[in-house]
Amino acid sequence: MSVPSDQTIDITGEVCPMTFVRTKLRLERMQPGEVLHVRLHGDEPLRNVPRAARDEGHIILGIVPAGNDHIVTIRRQ
């Protein structure tokens, strides 16, 4: 995680569509320009969360493996 985060959320225990619902709710409480690290688990959230965040107009700064999980870094727009 090379970009420092303003907030972090762990959704490894969630399943779609709740993975993005929880991410979206957190992003809505953040200020534009703030960065969110989302820890997720599984192929479906790895596909859906970044795509849905982009569809909402946010910027995906990176996706990195973290053990069996991934960290998606999102800049709120």
Please, what is the angle between helix 18-28 and helix 43-55, to 10°?
40
> How many structural domains are present in the chain?
1
Which residues are part of the catalytic machinery?
16
Give me the pLDDT at residue 4, please: 87
Q: Do the domain assignments include residue 22?
A: yes
Q: Do the domain assignments include residue 1?
A: no
pLDDT (tens place) for every residue of the chain, 77 residues total? 468 889 999 999 999 889 999 999 999 999 999 999 999 999 999 999 999 999 999 999 999 999 999 999 999 99
Q: Do the domain assignments include residue 54?
A: yes
Q: Can you give the CATH number for the domain in which 34 is found?
A: 3.30.110.40
Q: Do the domain assignments include residue 2?
A: no
Whole-angstrom distance, CA of residue 11 vs CA of residue 39: 6
In which domain, by residue range, is 38 found? Answer: 7-75
Q: Do the domain assignments include residue 52?
A: yes
